[in-house]
Structure 1
Amino acid sequence: MLSYQDVFLFSIIIIVLFGSSKLPEIGRGLGEAIIRFKKAVSEPETNSNKDESLKIYHKKQS
């Protein structure tokens, strides 16, 4: 089990590595990834889901 000291130390290391300005962006990306993963696990796979995923992927790449 993690103690408060471990969490604090881990937080400080993350801030030093990525900088405080990048943390919201990293958190947002992590949150979106978790939501997509949960959605993908709970929904049955169909061709329309694959098409939507590709559209979202290509839209973000542009």
Structure 2
Amino acid sequence: MPEILLVLAVILIFFGAKKLPELAKGMGQGIKEFKKATRDATGEMERAMEDPPAYTPPPTPKISEQAS
């Protein structure tokens, strides 16, 4: 717990009290975007796992007649 207080104090010193709300807002938006991207990627992977692969029949061998 003391580490968190130390980090917060350093951030307050570097950015100042006026910039803290802007910084927190930016971090909140970043976290929100990260969670959305993670959710989208997870959903895409789940959909890919649910869909069976499309059936493609094996190619039929072509028999060529050779004159002897």
The two structures have a TM-score, normalised by structure 1, of 0.58
Gaps of 5+ in 1: 45-62
Percent of pairs identical after alignment? 37
Per the alignment, residue 26 of structure 2 pairs with 29
The TM-score, its normalising length taken from structure 2, stands at 0.54
- The ranges of structure 1 where at least 4 consecutive aligned residues each deviate by more than 2 angstroms after the TM superposition are none
Greater fraction helix: 1
Number of residues paired by the alignment?
Answer: 41
- Structure 2: which 5+ residue stretches go unaligned? 42-68
- Which structure has the larger Rg over C-alpha atoms? 2
1:5 aligns with 2:29: no
